[in-house]
Amino acid sequence: MLKNYLLVAYRNLVRHKGFSFLNIAGLALGLTACLLIGLFVHDELQFDKFLPGGERVYRVYTEHTGKDALETYSSVSPMFAPTLRQEFPEVEQTMRILMRASTSLLEVGDKKIYVEDGLYVDSTFFGVFPLAFKYGSAAGALDAPTSIVLTENLAKRFFGDGNPVGRELKVDKSSFLVTGVLRSGLSKFHLNVNYLVPLAAAQIPPARMKAWGWNQFFTYAKLKPGTDVRQTEAKLQAYINEKVKPTMVGEELNDKPFLQPLHDVHLYSAAFKFDLSVRGNITYVKALSFIAAFILLIAGFNFVNLATAKSMQRAREVGIRKTLGASRQQLMGQFLSETVLLTLVSVVLAVVLTALLLPSLNEFTGKDMAFDLLRNPELLGLLAVLTVVVGLVAGFYPALVLSGFQPVKVLKSAVVTDGIFGRVQWLRHGLIVVQFALSVFLIICAIVVFRQVSYLHDKDLGFNRDQIMFFPMRGQNMSQHYETFKNELAQVPGVASVSIGYGFPGDQVAGDGLIVPTDGEKKEYGVTQLMVDYDYIRTLGLELVAGRDFSKERKTDKDQAFILNETAVREFGFGAPDQALGKTVQWEVWNDKNPDSLKTGKVIGVVRDFHYKSLYDKLEPAVLQIFPGAYWKVAVKLKGDNLSSSVDGVKQVWGRFSPESPIEYRFLDQNFDDMYKAEDKLKSLLWIFTGIAIFVGCLGLFGLATYAAERRKKEIGIRKVLGASVATIVGLLSKEFLVLVLVAALIAFPAAWLAMSRWLQDFAYRIDMPLWAFLAAGLTAAAVAFITVGYQAVRAATANPVNNLRAN
Amino acid sequence: MIEIENLEKIYRTDEVQTKALNNVTLRVAEGEFVAIMGPSGCGKSTLLNILGLLDEPDGGRFAFAGTEVAQTSERRRAELRKKHIGFVFQSFNLIEELTVAENVELPLIYLGVGAAERKQKVEQVLEKMQIMHRRNHFPQQLSGGQQQRVAVARAVVNSPRLILADEPTGNLDSSNGNEVMELLTELNEGGTTIIMVTHSEHDARYAHRVIRLLDGQVVLENLTQAFSA
């Protein structure tokens, strides 16, 4: 019996190749999207789950009531850890990680590599995070201040495959001894880590470690089993209020501590400031899960739709089978096994597609997800269940309807006009509207995002970012002789100019107060402090709108001159740029020895506003001043075409000043391109989803059009006999679907408008909402719908009417 | 074999009520070959459908092989149908996705006959219908006469007691038509009861008896020439 079913199913499939292809492809595509999203979501949910005892680990974070708003800090005072351990008996262990500057130079013999993600940690690290060791062991691995634990990957880069335990390694010129190597496979750990050294190695003065106001430590606490964390949290908050705040002198403590479960760190920290952890976003995870479910629903619906439309043509077969004695159950069995088979083919195809696309997804997301069905019986079982469920659901409706046909009726007539198909019309139409609304919505979003992203990349930023080599200085020799270094760089052939300072576009900038004495009162403004030299404006190609650039010839420029940007001039109420010249401003000098020293000077120039941050941020008042004490970064403007020889020349000069550290350079425009990586990804994602949505929407429409053409065969035949032209009939059949698309567009327009307005609002600098995008999206959807429906309509309209009428 | 008394069938639309069969009384004995004739719309197909247990009457009595079936369940009727009745249609009604042999095998599958026995029976009947050489062809690849032979083969493969033929020669030329009529006669001679709806006086002469319907009523019942003498 089953053999017969499958045989007929197979032959039906082969006989209607195009139709089968569409149906299988639609479901396969939907399932592939679901599988890929599912893998991603699953992966996101797995963070830190591999750590034994992780459910008892909590991270301390604080809510800080600042002058503007409530902010959440993931880095806290070094005092939380000892306090928790000493005052709270339910705390089993605590551990701190120091937040520090990004890269360090690691050396073994002649091998020198800049390495990121080195963590300064308490020796209790492995008590809280029991990571697996490849060489050495957790016990005592971080006890000596000179011990260092490497990841397998890093160990391999320096020592190859051998066991490096006991070997020496230098970090920023200080010596460490390797005490262990962590096993690889830390991709689901919320911390990016390359190596671990004891906190003691940071040589922080003991007094500093007692500062409640120094928020630079990621702090974890492991609670004893059975502890009620909410109680501990409340106790901790009370402790801070009652025991700590009263002891604070001269500064205010506005931090309220909380305990965040380790398993929440990855997904629930999106709003945290200064976070070190690898962050996901539960909103995305939820949205993606929803999208996956939606895609599956739509794909399943289209599958049902197409299968039902197709099965209309098989009414006669049902009639014959019934006449020959087939029971209703047997017929249902037949149709169900057919749809299950179709689903199975789709699932297999989806599995293959998923396996093929996963590497791209991994690259896109920076993950290393695996899709190995044989080693993952749960996934295999899930797919099996999915096959059966989708197959049964998809087959249930046609099975129920067709098996209920009266053979007398279907054998006599080639056309089925059973009312039951018509009864769910509103549902079919409703779902088509939903699909097309989604398509129109996505097309609009794709266009808007594309335009905004182009704008981000191409907008005139007020300075010239092309061909600027950019790197930090390294080593005392270079810093102390920065002027000589700069001069030598300037003499390299192909170098147009060199600027050394702190506060280059796309890089870190410092914020600090600037005092503007007005009417005998001293008013302080928060401004961006750009610590520059005499060549900064020239190197970046900034435009002076009033006054002059800093000049080496004028001795007072170093200590008594400031240049403002236009925004600062406006904020300070100086009026026109010209009027700002000569105004007095003051700044509290960054100086350890004399914290109260005040630098007083005059405004000598005003530069046109330029975007030193991403276009997310509104331009802030900025002040440029000569302050060699903060010089750190170097920008080298190159000219001409022979970039590589110029770069080589710069490297040679570097080698003379800092032979022990290799140069680490980028180009300034890369900094800006990197700022919009998320937007670039969003853009690609949107194109993909738009493509899928349109394809899937068309499938649904195609199924419906097929069904409608089939249903109205006789009507079309009669109309043709009475003299209707092909065009009239195509119009007749297409009209109702175009109405659906119109309704879909009307739903999608306001939704897209709202969504995109909100998205654009995040950018301080943005495009105007392009109205043509709405028109284009509507027309695209209508055109696609017309082509889809038109195919069926033309087929129905050009068919010989005699064939459709004779059967009656 | 078949006893019908005062059978009624009414088709209703919203406003009109049509009596397709009106007080039809009819007896067909085991082994008979009966032709039902009448103009289009006289109710002969309706009668055949009721006889074939494909449709239900709205009134009257209907006993099939001694069992009252006028008001019986769909399940029970399907049961009787697949065991005792074979159908031959004007438009053959072969399933296009199945080969000749598979089409013929279908009733046996629904009867739950084992694979080996099915194979044997199918071959026997195909041999008998002289269509064995086409067993692996699909219906579309056969001529009309061949297709109807396959349909007849399918109708008789499970040795039904009754064959219902609805204008079996309607789509065939005269030589193919005669061939099919010869086949039916042969089956009848082997003991199978045959009831045939036809427009053709020529075909009707193969039957023992002709029942003429007009407007849902039996107007004349007579023996054919071959048997009247």
What would the pLDDT profile of A227-248 be if each residue is shown by its tens digit?
A: 999 999 999 999 998 888 888 7
Q: Find, among A21, A12, A24, A709, the residue nearest to A299 by Cα.
A: A24
Q: Nearest Cβ partner of A8 from B54, B97, B110?
A: B97
Q: B130 lies in which domain range?
A: 2-228
> Under an 8 A CB cutoff, do B87 and A11 touch?
no
DSSP annotation of A21 reads H
Of the pLDDT bands very low, low, confident and very high (cuts 50, 70, 90), residue A414 is very low
Amino acid at A333: G
Give yes or no: residues A145 and A267 share one domain. Answer: yes
A417 CB near a chain B CB, below 8 Å? no
A80 vs A103, residue with greater confidence:
A80
Residue in chain A nearest B138 by alpha carbon: A11
Per-residue confidence (pLDDT) for residue A621, from 0 to 100: 92
Residue position matching structure tokens 């705040």: A245
pLDDT of the residue at A410: 65
DSSP state, residue A448 = H
| pLDDT value of position A592 | 61
Asked if residue A417 has pLDDT above 80, the reply is no
**Based on the domain organization, do A767 and A802 belong to the same domain?**
yes
Question: Do A409 and A443 reside in the same domain of the chain?
Answer: no
Put simply, whether B160 touches A (Cβ < 8 Å) is no
Here the CATH number for the domain that contains residue B11 is 3.40.50.300
Residue A786: left (phi > 0), alpha (psi -120 to 50), or beta? alpha
Least confident of A363-377, A754-768, B19-33: A363-377
Quote the pLDDT of residue A67.
59
Distance between CA atoms of residues A795 and A35, nearest Å: 36
Amino acid at A309: A
Compute the distance between CA of residue A15 and CA of residue A7 in angstroms, rounded to an integer: 12
pLDDT computed for residue A72 by the predictor: 87
State residue B124's pLDDT score.
92
Question: Would you state the pLDDT for residue A593?
Answer: 67
Average pLDDT, chain B: 87
Report the domain count for chain A: 4
pLDDT tens, position by position, A581-638: 999 999 888 876 666 688 899 999 999 999 998 888 888 899 999 998 889 899 999 9
Residue A788, min C-alpha distance to chain B (Å)? 28
Give the helix/strand (H/E) hosting A22: helix A17-45
Report the alpha-carbon distance of residue A464 to residue A470 in Å, rounded. 14
CA distance B87 to B81: 10
Contacts of A317 (CB under 8 A, 6+ apart): B95, B96, B97
Nearest Cα neighbor of A468 from A412, A507, A415, A429 is: A507
Most confidently predicted of A8-17, A30-39, A173-182, B169-178: A173-182
Q: Compute φ and ψ for A112, nearest 5 degrees.
A: -125, 125
Cβ(A506)–Cβ(A675) below 8 Å = yes
**Distance from B141 to chain A by nearest Cα, in Å?**
15
**Whether pLDDT at A39 is above 60:** yes
pLDDT of residue A404: 75
Would you say residue A160 has pLDDT above 80? yes
Say if B55 is an interface residue toward chain A (CB within 8 Å).
Answer: yes
| pLDDT higher than threshold 90 for residue A685 | no
Residue A487 has what pLDDT? 93
Q: Which one-letter DSSP state was computed for residue A768?
A: P
Chain B contact for A8, CB < 8 A? Answer: yes
B54/A406 Cβ within 8 A: yes
My answer on whether A688 and A665 are in the same domain is no
- List CB contacts of A581: < 8 A, sequence separation 6 or more: A546, A547, A602, A603, A604, A605, A606
3-class state of residue A723 by DSSP: coil
How confident is the model at residue A287, as a pLDDT?
Answer: 79
Q: Which of A94-98, A325-329, A410-414, B213-217 has the highest mean pLDDT?
A: A94-98
Residues A716 and A740 in one domain: yes
Whether the CB of A113 is below 8 Å from some CB of chain B: the reply is no
What integer pLDDT is reported at residue A418 of this predicted model? Answer: 46
- Of residues A281 and B104, more confidence is placed in B104
Helix (H) or strand (E) holding B213: strand B209-214
Partner-chain contact B54 A408, CB within 8 Å: yes
At residue B49, the pLDDT reads 86
- The answer to whether A326 contacts chain B (CB < 8 Å) is yes
Q: Can you tell me which residue has the tokens 């005059």? A: A602
For residue A543, the SS3 value is coil
Nearest chain A residue (CA) to B156: A324
Token pair of B155 as six digits:
């109708």
B83 and chain A: CB distance < 8 Å anywhere?
yes
CA-based nearest residue in chain A for residue B154: A324
Mutate to test the interface with B, among A5, A12, A324, A803 (most CBs of B within 10 A): A324
- ∠ CA A625-A626-A627, nearest 5°, is 110
- Beta strands A561-565 and A598-607 are parallel
Token digits for A415? 């056309």
> Which pLDDT score is estimated for A458?
85
Residue A808 has pLDDT above 70, yes or no: no
Range with the poorest average pLDDT among A37-51, A360-374, A702-716: A702-716
pLDDT of residue A802: 64
Choose among B55, B98, B109: nearest Cβ to A1. Answer: B109
What would the mean pLDDT of A570-581 be, rounded to a whole number?
91
In this complex, is the C-beta atom of B137 within 8 Å of any C-beta atom belonging to chain A?
A: no
- Average predicted confidence (pLDDT) for chain A: 85
- CA A769 to chain CA mean position, Å: 23
Q: How far apart, in whole angstroms, are the C-alpha atoms of residue A553 and residue A429? A: 79
Give B142-196 pLDDT, tens digit per residue: 998 899 889 999 998 988 999 999 888 888 888 888 988 998 999 999 999 999 9
Confidence of residue A423 (pLDDT cuts 50, 70, 90): low
Measured distance CA(A290)–CA(A283) in Å, rounded: 10
For residue A382, the model assigns a pLDDT of: 84
User: pLDDT at position A21, please?
Assistant: 84
Same domain, A310 and A429: no
Full domain range(s) for residue A734: 424-460+674-808
Q: Do residues A311 and A418 share a domain?
A: yes
Task: Give the span between the Cα atoms of A711 and A313, in whole angstroms.
Answer: 10
Residue B105's nearest CA partner among B158, B145, B62, B43 is: B158
Whether residue A665 sits in one domain with residue A611: yes
Helix axes A328-365, A2-15, angle to 10 degrees: 60
Q: What's the rounded Cα separation, in Å, for the pair B65 and B193?
A: 11
pLDDT tens track for A277-293? 887 888 878 878 887 88
Chain B's closest residue to A318, CA to CA, is B95
User: Which residues in chain B have Cβ-Cβ distances shorter than 8 Å to A4?
Assistant: 102, 105-106, 109
Domain identity same for A574 and A679 = no
Q: What is the pLDDT of residues B44-98, one digit of tens each?
A: 888 888 898 888 888 889 998 888 888 888 778 878 888 899 988 888 888 888 8
Q: What is the pLDDT of residue A289?
A: 86
Strand, helix or coil at A534? coil
Place of tokens 């000892």: A82
What are the two backbone dihedrals, phi and then psi, of residue A335, each rounded to the nearest 5 degrees? Answer: -65, -35
Residues 6+ apart with CB under 8 A from A372: none
Dist CA B23 CA A429 (whole Å): 47
Res A447 pLDDT > 70: yes
Q: What is the pLDDT of residue A286?
A: 85
3-state DSSP call for residue A399?
Answer: helix
Instruction: List, as one string, the DSSP characters of A580-592.
Output: HTT-EEEEE---S
Hey, is the C-beta of B226 within 8 angstroms of any chain A C-beta? no
Chain B: closest CA distance from residue A409 (Å): 10
Higher-scoring residue by pLDDT: A150, A519: A150
A402 in the same domain as A312? yes
Which of A399-408, A509-518, A773-782 is most confident?
A773-782
Residue A170, Cβ neighbours under 10 Å: how many? 17
Residue B58 DSSP one-character state? S
H helix or E strand, kind and range, residue A81: helix A80-87
Q: How confident is residue A801, by pLDDT bands cut at 50, 70 and 90?
A: low
State whether residue B57 sits within 8 Å of chain A by CB.
no
Chain A with chain B: Cβ pairs closer than 8 A: 63
pLDDT at A716: 78
Contact predicate A711/A801, CB 8 Å: no
Query: With 80 as the cut, is the pLDDT of residue B22 above it?
Result: yes
Query: Between the CA atoms of A488, A489, A495 and A496, what dihedral angle is there, to the nearest 10 degrees?
Result: -80
Question: How far apart are alpha carbons B167 and B156 in whole angstroms?
Answer: 17
Greater pLDDT, A2 or A31: A31
* Total domains in the fold of chain B: 1
Half-sphere exposure of A455 (CA within 13 A, CB side): 17
A219: part of which helix (H) or strand (E)? strand A217-223
3-class DSSP state of B32: coil
Amino acid making up residue A225: P
Residue A420 has pLDDT above 50, yes or no: no
Residue A64 in contact with residue A255, Cβ under 8 Å?
yes
The tens digit of pLDDT for each residue in A183-237 reads 988 888 999 899 999 999 888 888 888 888 788 899 999 999 999 999 999 999 9
pLDDT at A774 over 60: yes
Distance set, CA A520 to CA A523, A580, A584, A587, A599 (Å): 10, 17, 12, 16, 17
Distance CA A398, CA A296 (A): 19
Annotate A278-322 with DSSP letters as a single string. ----HHHHHHHHHHHHHHHHHHHHHHHHHHHHHHHTTHHHHHHHH
Distance CA A596, CA A586 (A): 12
pLDDT value, residue A488: 93
pLDDT > 50? residue A415: no
Q: Are residues A303 and A370 in the same domain?
A: yes
- The residue type of B84 is H
pLDDT of residue A684: 82
pLDDT at B9 over 70: yes
d(CA A133, CA A183): 5
Q: Which of residues 349-408 of A touch B (CB under 8 A)?
A: 406-408
- Considering only residues B221 and B118, tell me which one the structure prediction assigns the higher pLDDT: B118
Look at residue A692 and tell me whether its pLDDT is greater than 60: yes
User: Which pLDDT tens digit goes with each residue over A107-147?
Assistant: 998 888 888 889 999 999 999 999 999 999 998 899 999 99
